[in-house]
């Protein structure tokens, strides 16, 4: 027992005699090794630092759940050469990506939700949430792909950048629409009510010049026109003239007759045509008078939604439902919100856009910032070194040799001599550290 204590004391004294420069080299190397994907390599660091055997650390469930929604900074760099600065920059870049993407995730959700409301509440929530989540994942994955644009994968990284930029343009446009749906329902309902009223006015106006819907109208038109032309061509004493005249216009003595009381089937051909045209004009006049009388009330009420509900209930029930006047069609709601947002944006009515404009601009600014951050991060020389395969091979060959020697020199693999391991690390410290520092200063 005393021999073991003496050996331990001797080791501690030997460790305490290490120079500050040597310790710095060890610390530097340990930081590189801690990021190595091979468990055996990480075991060396663990044994040297703690005197304990390496055990594979399972990723906590909380961390797994966290990275289902947030960008993982460890995906932004390689494992060959990793400094604290690379890690810190990766965390900041991934954080910017996460904040921007999650904001778009929230502001885009109303559009997807309303687009699928017609399939039912539960299916709508499942479908819209799934699509929105997959879009979030796509944004996180492509951002990570952009950051991994080293010399062997630049084309792939540029393709990811093109997809990322396109996606964020789309999300920025949709974010303003989404906030209109979420925060401006009352105005959207009024807009839809106004549109429905204008559609009713347009329908009435169209009756004035609309084609007459009667199965015999075209035949009557053709026969009347043809008959009138034949009357002009036939001589006055031609016996066919009288028969033709009676068939299309009636007896000559009745040319000034009021035909309004005569049954339609007993009317001459041209008078049937006139009857149909008069009925069409009359229908237009009645519809216009009826609607105009309603529109007078509309101007007094000053609320198109209430006017529609009280005075044009049939039209109202086609598009609204419930005590809160909810818009029945989610697709219509999305279309109205697009018209509202982009209409006022193009018109320069920024003051009334409010929160929708804020989220629209925020999406543009945050997306631009994190895309530029990601691209610039990928272009850094030290990040490129983290993917350096030649350096990785050199390091791994040395580490494998060091592992074998460390195990051979230790009687118990769980208690590797710390100072002995340091000495073996020191042998390679200058060889590995100096070229890296030189490259980092290029």
The pLDDT tens digits of the residues spanning 341-372 come to 999 999 999 988 889 999 999 999 999 999 99
Cα–Cα distance for residue pair 219/217, rounded to 1 Å:
5
Joined together, the tokens standing for residue 169 give: 């343009």
Which pLDDT score is estimated for 168?
A: 95
Which pLDDT score is estimated for 436?
A: 39
pLDDT in tens, 48-64: 454 444 344 456 788 88
> pTM higher than 0.85, yes or no?
no
Contact 106, 182 (CB under 8 A): no
Contact 94, 70 (CB under 8 A): yes
Contact 208, 284 (CB under 8 A): yes
Which pLDDT score is estimated for 277?
A: 86
Contact 189, 325 (CB under 8 A): yes
Cα–Cα distance for residue pair 383/404, rounded to 1 Å:
30
Which pLDDT score is estimated for 43?
A: 59
Which pLDDT score is estimated for 247?
A: 87
pLDDT at residue 77 tops 70 = yes
Query: Of the candidates 442, 395, 412, 409, which has an alpha carbon nearest to the alpha carbon of residue 28?
Result: 395
Q: What mean pLDDT is reported for the chain?
A: 79
């Amino acid at each position: 027992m005393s021999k073991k204590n003496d050996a331990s004391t001797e080791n501690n004294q030997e460790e305490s005699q290490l120079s500050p420069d040597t310790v710095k080299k060890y610390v530097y190397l340990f930081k590189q090794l801690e990021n190595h994907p091979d468990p055996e390599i990480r075991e060396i660091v663990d044994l040297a630092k703690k005197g304990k055997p390496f055990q594979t650390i399972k990723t906590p469930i909380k961390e797994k759940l966290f990275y289902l929604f947030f960008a993982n900074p460890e995906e932004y760099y390689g494992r060959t050469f990793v400094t604290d600065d690379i890690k810190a920059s990766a965390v900041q870049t991934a954080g910017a990506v996460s904040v921007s993407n999650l904001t778009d995730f929230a502001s885009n959700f109303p559009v997807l939700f309303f687009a699928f409301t017609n399939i039912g509440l539960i299916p709508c929530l499942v479908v819209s949430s799934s699509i929105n989540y997959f879009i979030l994942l796509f944004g996180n994955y492509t951002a990570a792909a952009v950051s991994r644009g080293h010399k062997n994968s630049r084309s792939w990284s540029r393709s990811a950048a093109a997809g990322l930029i396109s996606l964020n343009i789309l999300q920025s446009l949709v974010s303003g629409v989404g906030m209109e749906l979420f925060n401006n329902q009352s105005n959207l309902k009024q807009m839809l009510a106004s549109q429905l009223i204008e559609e009713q006015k347009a329908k009435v106006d169209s009756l004035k010049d609309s084609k007459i819907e009667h199965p015999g109208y075209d035949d009557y038109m053709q026969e009347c026109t043809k008959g009138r032309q034949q009357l002009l061509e036939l001589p006055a004493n031609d016996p066919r003239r009288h028969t033709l005249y009676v068939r299309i216009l009636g007896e000559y003595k009745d040319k000034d007759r009021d035909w309004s009381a005569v049954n339609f089937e007993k009317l001459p051909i041209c008078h049937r045509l006139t009857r149909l045209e008069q009925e069409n004009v009359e229908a237009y006049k009645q519809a216009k008078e009826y609607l105009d009388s309603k529109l007078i009330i509309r101007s007094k009420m000053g609320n198109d939604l209430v006017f529609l509900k009280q005075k044009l209930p049939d039209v109202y029930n086609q598009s609204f439902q419930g005590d809160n006047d909810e818009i029945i069609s989610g697709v219509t709601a999305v279309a109205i919100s697009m018209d509202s947002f982009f209409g006022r944006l193009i018109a320069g009515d920024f003051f009334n856009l409010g929160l929708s404009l804020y989220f629209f601009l925020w999406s543009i600014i945050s997306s631009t910032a994190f895309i530029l951050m990601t691209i610039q991060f990928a272009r850094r020389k030290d990040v490129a070194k983290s993917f350096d395969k030649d350096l990785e091979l050199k390091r791994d060959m040395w580490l494998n040799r060091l592992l074998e020697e460390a195990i051979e020199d230790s009687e118990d693999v769980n208690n590797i001599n710390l100072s002995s391991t340091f000495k073996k690390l020191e042998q390679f410290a200058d060889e590995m550290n100096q070229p890296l520092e030189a490259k980092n200063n290029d």
